[in-house]
Amino acid sequence: MLRTCFLLIVLVCGTAGAADSIRPVMSWDDYYQALKEEGQSDAEARAEVAESLKSLRDMDRAAGADRVGVVAPPFNFDIWINSKALTLEDLRGKVVLVRWWTDTCPFCASSAPALRSLHEEYADQGLVVIGVFHPKAGRDDPLDVARVQRAVDARKFVFPTAIDWDWRNRTLKDWWLTGPKRPATSVTFLLDKNGIIRFVHPGMEYHDANGSQDHEICASDMSLIRASVKRLLAE
């Protein structure tokens, strides 16, 4: 099982299972509280969080090495938010960061500031950040653009965001869910100016240092991503 983003938070507001009952998880503390609201004891919720953080530390960070040097497959997305529909041909000459994320995942919530920071720091230098929403909760429901827009607004994403609703059969499958077993679906790819994959972060979480020992590996991963962005921009 892919570890990250399998964590489903469904808060019922009226009819059980309704699309508008899914709200974005905003942080690890928010995730912990949601687990308790779903009926877990304090000990159970803390154990769930601890197990998730262990998977973050233990993740094989070389898991995407087989994709490095590969020409990125075409985009096959449903809808774009904050942008017209983009193609890889449109993005030639740019360094492109593509990150799959979802609204019910604490790893994704904690990585949102990193995506905003990278966009703010490097967009003027030629970096294009693209967030790709892929649902876990309600993934067999019909496409729900309003749900994605709520999540984009909650994450304060102003960069292009695409929807890969049928990700098990479409773009994420073509880019990632082939070949070796993958540790996560919340993967990040860095493409060079010719559309070739040059760096892969295989999922879960990254961000700048926040003082937490549980998240030191996230800051290390963020440093690698930022260094890779700078190197590719300089080419």
Question: pLDDT by residue (tens digit) across 72-85?
Answer: 999 999 999 999 99
Distance CA 80, CA 230 (A): 27
More confident residue, 227 or 1: 227
CATH code (residue 36): 3.40.30.10
* C-alpha distance from residue 191 to each of 38, 90, 209 (Å): 40, 13, 25
Contact present, 167 and 134 (Cβ < 8 Å): yes
- Provide the edge-to-edge strand list for the sheet that holds 188-191: 80-81, 161-163, 127-133, 95-101, 188-191, 197-201
Q: Indicate whether 70 belongs to any domain.
A: yes
Q: Which two tokens stand for residue 101?
A: 């994320």
pLDDT at residue 9, rounded to an integer: 38
pLDDT at residue 12, rounded to an integer: 31
pLDDT at 133 over 60: yes
pLDDT at residue 22, rounded to an integer: 85
pLDDT at residue 5, rounded to an integer: 42
Question: What does pTM read for this prediction?
Answer: 0.91
Extended beta strands in 102-217, E state: 127-133, 161-163, 188-191, 197-201
pLDDT at residue 20, rounded to an integer: 60
Q: Indicate whether 203 belongs to any domain.
A: yes
Q: Indicate whether 12 belongs to any domain.
A: no
Question: pLDDT by residue (tens digit) across 72-128?
Answer: 999 999 999 999 999 999 999 999 999 999 999 999 999 999 999 999 999 999 999
Q: Is the dihedral of CA 109, 53, 208, 75 positive or negative?
A: negative
Cα 43 to the center of its chain, rounded Å: 28
Triad 7, 135, 99: Cα angle to 5°: 95
Distance CA 76, CA 153 (A): 23
pLDDT at 13 over 70: no
Q: Which two tokens stand for residue 21?
A: 């009952």
pLDDT at 167 over 80: yes
Q: Indicate whether 189 belongs to any domain.
A: yes
DSSP code for 183? S
Q: Indicate whether 11 belongs to any domain.
A: no
pLDDT, averaged across the chain? 91
Structural domain that includes position 69: 19-234
Question: pLDDT by residue (tens digit) across 212-228?
Answer: 888 999 999 999 999 99
Structural domain total, the chain? 1
Extended beta strands in 35-167, E state: 80-81, 95-101, 127-133, 161-163
